[in-house]
Amino acid sequence: MAILVTGGAGYIGSHVCVSLLNAGFDVIIVDNFNNSYPEVLHRIENITGRTPINMPCDIRDRMMIEKILKNHGCTSVIHLAGLKAVAESAGCPLFYYDCNVVGTLILLQAMQSIRVKNLIFSSTAMVYGLPEYLPYDEKHPLVPENVYGRTKLIIEKMMADLYTADPEWSFTILRYFNPVGAHESGLIGEDPKGIPNNLMPIISQVASGRRKKLTIWGDNYKTKDGTGIRDYIHVVDLANGHIAALKMMEKPGVHLFNLGCGKGFSVLDVIGAFEHVSNRPVPYIIGPRRPGDIAEFFTNSEMARKELGWEAKRDLHQICADMWNFQVKNPQGYRQKES
């Protein structure tokens, strides 16, 4: 079976491609390399001994997407391409609506015209907004707090409307919590372009000496130690969740799952675990709260366990160990191999 993976060269995408290739699927990657590196493709090949087909292209190029779907006999699409920085989304809303919402609209139009009607979509816990209760389950009200979250929710609704109009479609929407960690080989991991926004890549760069210190965004939340609490999920577990989700493709409908580990860790917990694993200090200062941040959230993983037979297996220690392994093997990220 050939699966088209949009954003397949990205952080999550590269791990999803490895899981797919290892499970015997053929993989066609569509990526515009906006936040990823072609070097990743060699690494995927190195890990799996198989070569994904690379189609450098933007999902908004409908003719090209139709051609790729047709020429490669794709049966399903895993749609991961998109922008994900909350602060940037507030400053450039039209850019976010264009890439995320218009991009998905065009992808769906292309799929519809070729009659490929199976799609797994990368959504986010950000669609829930401020927790009315915790852990979030899939029935929690949907009131996203920021532009990024709204683009993902609009896409989810677009998919539900399309299914209502044409019940042959099968959509599996995966709401990710905080993907972190790296492949155990140390060959692929997270290498954001520019200054990272997210906690784990910054910690890892500070521990390695590439950055001097971390700023903790607020230590006066109503949490056990005052710092923000998140549900960190190992990216390989997350990738395997997509393989589990492929089985839902047999059932038309709109299937919704939270993918997280079901436990919350504070910023200080994560720093402590990383220092322990790397045996390096992670100097930090306390800064103000980051606008739009939520004090605490984590998932109820019951639905994914029951319906997909999936659960996260790797703990925080493993997450930090794999992240550190990637950092040590790639001190400057993927760039060193490209120059």
Q: Which residues are known to be catalytic?
A: 148
Site size toward ligand UD1 (CB under 6 A) is: 21
Nearer to ligand UD1, 24 or 288 (CB): 288
List of residues 6+ apart from 133 with CB closer than 8 A: 140
Q: Which residue is nearest to ligand UD1 (CB)?
A: 228
d(CA 44, CA 183): 10
d(CA 7, CA 82): 7
Among 132, 161, 293, 338, binds ligand UD1 (CB under 6 A): 293
Strand order in the sheet with 170-176: 53-56, 26-31, 2-6, 74-79, 118-124, 170-176, 253-259
Residue with tokens 């992240």: 323
Q: How far is the CB of 287 from ligand UD1 (least distance, A)?
A: 8
Backbone phi, then psi, for 265, in 5-degree steps? -125, 145
Give the containing element (helix H, strand E) for 164: helix 147-165
338 touching ligand UD1, by CB under 6 A = no
| Window 224 to 263, contacts with ligand UD1 (CB under 6 A) | 228, 230
| Window 184 to 213, contacts with ligand UD1 (CB under 6 A) | 197-199, 202
215 touching ligand UD1, by CB under 6 A = yes
Side chain identity at residue 326, one-letter code? F
x/- letters, 114..133, toward ligand UD1 (CB under 6 A) = ----------x-x-------
**Radius of gyration from C-alpha coordinates of the chain:** 19
175 touching ligand UD1, by CB under 6 A = no
| Window 72 to 101, contacts with ligand UD1 (CB under 6 A) | 84, 86
The secondary structure of 312-339 as a DSSP string is ----HHHHHHHHHHHHHH-TTTTHHHH-
178 touching ligand UD1, by CB under 6 A = yes
Q: How far is the CB of 259 from ligand UD1 (least distance, A)?
A: 12
Contact range with ligand UD1 by CB under 6 A, out of 38-46, 246-254, 290-298, 317-325: 290-298
x/- letters, 131..150, toward ligand UD1 (CB under 6 A) = -----------------x--
| HSE-up of residue 46 (Cα within 13 Å, Cβ side) | 12
List residues near ligand UD1 by CB under 6 A: 84, 86, 124, 126, 148, 178-179, 197-199, 202, 214-217, 228, 230, 267, 290, 292-293
